[in-house]
Amino acid sequence: MSDALTGGCQCGAIRFSATHADRDAYWCHCRMCQQALGNVAAAFWNVAKDGVEWTGRERATYMSSPFGRRGFCGECGTPLSFDYPDSPNIDLTVGALDDPAAVRLASHFGVESRVHGWTAGEGLPEMRSEDHAPLQDRWARARGEGE
């Protein structure tokens, strides 16, 4: 799988490898995705189910509608997928990819629920996490440094 993209959950219990030539991803703005991910939109990469290899712990699933299923890690809660059980395709969450930049935003879906002003923040003030002293102090204390 040389052209495969890999990913998984935050705790590492679930991993996946997906082979798909198309690297186009999309933002889903529908209200159900907003609630399922606790965010204003969900970034998805749509691939063939038979092109995805899952390893580690089995995904937990939740039928979020009479026909739509959400996959996530039952250990850490990371959202991993959305699919229609009767479809040959599955959406993988872009944030769960090891390299989210390997796919590109190509379209928007469910725009009737779009929360304007929250999907593009170019030009707003920015800060790198390593420049945020309170976060760095928490990491240092968690590692037992400076005690």
Domain boundaries, the chain: 4-122
Contact criterion met (CB below 8 Å) for 77 and 14: no
Predicted local distance difference test score (pLDDT) of residue 94: 98
Predicted local distance difference test score (pLDDT) of residue 64: 93
CA distance 52 to 50: 6
Predicted local distance difference test score (pLDDT) of residue 9: 98
CATH of domain 4-122: 2.170.150.70
Predicted local distance difference test score (pLDDT) of residue 39: 94
Question: Confidence class of residue 120 from pLDDT cuts 50, 70 and 90?
Answer: confident
Backbone CA torsion sign across 96, 81, 5, 103: negative
Taking residues 97-122, what's their average pLDDT?
A: 90
pTM recorded for the entire structure: 0.87
